[in-house]
Amino acid sequence: MDTKKRYSTERIGEPPTILVVDDDPLVRSFEVQLLSSQGYNVLEAESGAEALRLADIATIHLLLTDFLMPDIDGLELTQNFRIVHPETPVLMVSGSLPPTDNRIENIARFSFLPKPFAFDELLQKVRVLIEAEAPFPRRAE
């Protein structure tokens, strides 16, 4: 997959907005730069609390969040985020998502991408989630 390929220019209106949440500034910066280079509008937050503040004031098409964070973990963030954005897809990334966490059962529709991941894996997941959840109208040919 060509990582230089930008988000489709055939879409009407603004590009989808992705909210990237990670307490690690290097990981967050990498994800923000990669997604921005593909034409997405990217907002970033270093904590779950900051992400929830942004979710209250912006239209978000995808939440991309780390699982392990010091203030609010990815599962709690997703639960609270869904109050404001119930239909928005969530992509959780982590090297250590505990499969026995019973809170997972209470979260509808979220995808998981294990760390480490390749650029193309992240981009493919993002594209699939955004396209599947809220397809944008195409311009007439």
- How much is the pLDDT for 139? 33
CA-nearest of 14, 32, 1, 13 to 128 is 1
pLDDT at 10: 35
How far apart CA 110 and CA 78 sit, in angstroms, is: 9
**17-97+107-133: CATH topology:** Rossmann fold (3.40.50)
Note whether 65 and 27 are within 8 A (CB): no
Closest by Cα among 30, 69, 31, 26 to 50: 69
Q: Specify the pLDDT at position 94.
A: 86
Dihedral angle, C-alpha 3, 30, 39, 58, nearest 10 °: 150
- Give the pLDDT of residue 101: 57
In the chain, what are the domain boundaries? 17-97+107-133
- Per-residue pLDDT of the chain (141 residues), as tens digits, is 343 334 433 345 789 999 999 999 999 999 999 999 999 999 999 999 999 999 999 999 999 999 989 889 888 999 899 888 988 999 999 887 555 555 555 555 678 898 888 999 999 999 999 988 654 433 333
List of residues 6+ apart from 21 with CB closer than 8 A: 28, 44, 45, 46, 47, 48, 50, 51, 63, 64, 65, 66, 69, 74, 77
